[in-house]
Structure formats: structure tokens, C-alpha cells
Chains A and B, each alone.
Chain A
Amino acid sequence: MRYIEPHGHMVSRTTDDYQAMVMAGCAAVCEPAFWAGYDRKNAHGFYDYFLQLTEYEPRRAKKYHLPHYTWLCINPKESEDTKLADDVIALIPDLLSKPNVLGIGEIGLNKNSRNELLILEKHLQLAADHDQLVLVHTPHLEDKLKGTRLILDAIQNFSTLRPERVIIDHVEEHTAPLVLDRGFWAGITLYPESKATPHRAIDMLELYGHEHIWLNSACDWGHSDPLAVPRTALEMRRRGYDANFIDQILYQNPLQFLSQNPRFKV
């Protein structure tokens, strides 16, 4: 079996996880910029983090023959401080030429505040100005439905951002149809408690179709599983899906989206 992990925060995982993922069939991993679990105090902290994502982490992954790609942004949890966010966004254009950068992400909303929305719009402008792919985080739990609606409206105010170049991640049953009906890609995140379980992810494929959807573990320093994608493949087999179907969902679909950036190679 082969699969692409399109969303994994590998800076917070061990090298044992890299080994396990490769042994399970992982062909490439993509790492969006995210919240470190604490608020960084200034843009220097983000610059170091961006170097970790674009220089150090690809070298670590390469030891296990795993191509590593990344996305850059300041995440919505740190967007309430708009001065900090502006300083961080100003760092990004010079880093877009790094060979493993795929686009702008994971941008989005967290608590659906005015400042978060303002910084989301600035990221979208950045993506539009530099013709970048976009990866969007949708909020957690009770905030997801409202945040998803606000995000979709914000993106559609940027006429040059084509929906097929934008993936809206962490969809669940109440947001997946909203995303797919407007022509965006949808990401289903497999988490032990929040977001989706393997069973529910497969249900969503049955309900909402299996085009323009990818599955990811979004593994990070919290309660998450770097092997959630191959575990879901096993559940697909138990439910009677064949190897071609599984390959389509877990390998061909992310390959189709990510290959819109010619840097992405597996």
C-alpha cells in the first residue's frame, strides 16, 4: 500500500514516527505551519520555525527516504495580535522560493474573531499575489460551522483564487457539503476524539463522493496518531473496498491536488 500524508506536524513527532510512516507506505509528507502550543512573542521565533520547516525537517525526513514539503503562514491562534501577524506575513514572500514550499497554510480561523478574519484576508491576498496554493484550517468543535461559512465567503471575495487550488481542511459531516458544493477540495482529519474517526471518514466518502477529498492525520504534539491514514485503509478493506479505491483516496487524490504545484514530486 502507498499513501501520501498531506497534513502532519512532524516537528513535534519523533524519528520513530518517520520510520513507522515509511514502513506503512508513506510516500511523502506535507507539513503546514501551525501553533507551537504556546504563543510566540515576536517574528524572530517564526523565522526560526520557518527555517526548521524549510531546511532542517526535510533533511530529517530524507534520512528515511521520505520527501518532505511544507506550507507557510501565521496560524489563526496567533492572529489576534495583528502587529505580530503583519510582521510574520512580511517574512513569507522571501521564503516562497524554498524548494519544499507548496503554498500558504494552514491559514483560517480559530475563534471566528474580527482580527482572525482580517489576518485570513491578508494571507489570501498574499496567496493571490504570488499565485500560491492555499491550505485552510477550520475551527474546532462548536466554532467549526460558523468559521467554515466565514472562511468560504472570505475566499470567494478573491476572484483570482480558484476553488480547485484551495483545500479546506478538518471538514466534518456538517461542513463537508458546504465546502464541496462550492468547488473547493475538502480534507478529513482523523483524530481519536475531535474531528473524524476512520469510520466517519469512510461514511463521508460514501455520502459526499470521493473526488476532491483527501484524508490526513494532522499528527502533532497533541492526542493524534501519525498512522491514522493507513489505519483507515484497513477499515476500508474491512468494509469491502478494494486496493484501487484505497489508492485513489489515499494516494491519487492528494497527488492530484498537490501536483498543482510542480515542486511536488513523489
Chain B
Amino acid sequence: MPSLPDLQFIAARASLLDVAAFLDRVQRHGQQDDYRLAALREAIPLLLSDDPHRVRRILESLSDSTLEPIPAATIQGAFGAPRKQP
């Protein structure tokens, strides 16, 4: 296996900077109360874990955890994070 840092560190660094810039941008424009931002803030600490399945844990964190089918589909799209019921 070749050196993965040699191959991919610059791309990972750029991805991390993109996340940081997104959070700065949202804050600068006063939009940090969005439910998707809250979901992102909950997921980010998973990056710092020693769990070797960080991607899986983050995907689970950003998933609808309910089990039953919804009564009806009133929209067709998805938004990347579940909107938690109050």
C-alpha cells in the first residue's frame, strides 16, 4: 500500500477547510439555527473518536432513526439530516 498521506492528505485538508469555511459562512450570515447545522455539530465530534468506523457513525448520526413507515410522502426530496420532532 503506498503512503495514503502522500496520496490524499492535501484533499483531506481541503475538505476540512471547506467544512470550517461553511460553518464560518453560516455564522457570519446568522443562519446557524438551522436543524441541519445542529445535526452537523452533533456529528463533528465523531471525527475525533478512535473508532475505526467514523464514516459509518457519522452516517448513522445523520439518519432518521425511526422504524415505522410514515403515513404518506408529502415531499420527494431529502435534506441530509433528519428534522427532529419537538
Contact = CB atoms under 8 A, between A and B. Distances in A.
Given A174-B56, A199-B8, A142 B64 contact: yes
Interface string A130-147: 000000000111111110
A240 B1 CA distance: 6
Instruction: Say whether chain A's binding surface is mostly helix, strand, loop, or mixed.
Output: helix
B64 A145 contact: yes
Interface string A227-239: 0000000000011
Interface in B26-85: 53, 55-56, 59-60, 62-67, 69-73, 75-82
B70 A139 contact: no
Interface of A: 77, 80, 110-117, 139-146, 149-150, 172-174, 199-200, 203, 207, 238-240
B5 interface: no
B2 interface: yes
B61 to A, nearest CB: 9
B7 interface: yes
A114 B78 contact: no
Given A77-B76, A142-B64, A240-B2, A113 B59 contact: no
Contact of A113 (B70, B79, B80): B70
Contacts of A173: 53, 55-56, 59
Band of interface residues on B: 20 to 34
A200 B81 CA distance: 20
A116 B60 CA distance: 23
Given A173-B53, A200-B55, A150 B2 contact: no
Contacts of B56: 173-174
B66 A146 contact: yes
A113 B75 CA distance: 11
Contacts of A80: 72-73
A145 B66 contact: no
Given A77-B76, A111-B70, A114-B71, A141 B62 contact: yes
B79 A145 contact: no
A238 B63 contact: no
Nearest to A177: B56
16 contacts: A77-B76, A110-B76, A111-B70, A112-B73, A141-B79, A141-B80, A141-B81, A142-B78, A144-B59, A145-B64, A146-B66, A146-B67, A173-B56, A174-B56, A174-B63, A207-B53
A7 B77 CA distance: 21
A140 B78 contact: yes
A146 B64 contact: yes
Task: Across the A-B interface, give the 7 residue pairs with the lowest CB-CB distance, nearest first.
Answer: A111-B73, A140-B78, A141-B78, A145-B63, A113-B73, A174-B59, A173-B56
A110 B79 contact: no
